[in-house]
Amino acid sequence: MMIDLIAHIATRNGLADSVSKRALGIVLNGAERQGSPLAAAMFKKVPGARVLAARTGDEIGSPTGEIARLIEQTPGGRRRVALSMISALQEAGLDHKQIGTLLPSIGSWMQSVHGMNDFGHLGDLIGHAGEPSRREGVRAA
């Protein structure tokens, strides 16, 4: 399943599989650090996603401490995580267009494979302060 997702991202974004895997790991790590519903759903549905996020986070030097993770879920912390995520994606070789199409390509795969329609926008990753928890596949009214 993970191999299929990586191949889908590579095809949709014009990336090599290795770059696609790194980019997915960066996005999942950033989403997990922020407590995003995207990360929780991906970890539940895609075997190996949590491991990829953790491994990539270790490689890019993401904070792992409990307090750091709590700070990353504040509005200012979320912005900082987003900035570091974009920087890491650029360092991995993605240009602005590829970064912009990365989340929609993940979203289209989640929709086609798992029937989940709530993915594919930067807001799914970043969220905002006071956002109520969303259940998988249910769009907030």
Q: What is the pLDDT of residues 2-52, one digit of tens each?
A: 999 999 999 999 999 999 999 999 999 998 998 888 788 889 999 999 999
Distance between CA atoms of residues 44 and 100, nearest Å: 25
What is the predicted pLDDT for the residue at 78?
87
pLDDT in tens, 87-129: 999 999 999 999 989 988 998 898 899 888 766 655 555 544 3
Count of alpha carbons within 13 angstroms of residue 110, beta-carbon side: 25
CB atoms within 10 A of CB 80: 15
Phi-psi region of 115 (alpha: psi -120 to 50; beta: other; left: phi over 0): left
Q: Which among 86, 87, 91, 76 is positioned nearest to 122, based on CA atoms? A: 86
Distances (CA, A) of 52 to 25, 35, 46: 5, 16, 11
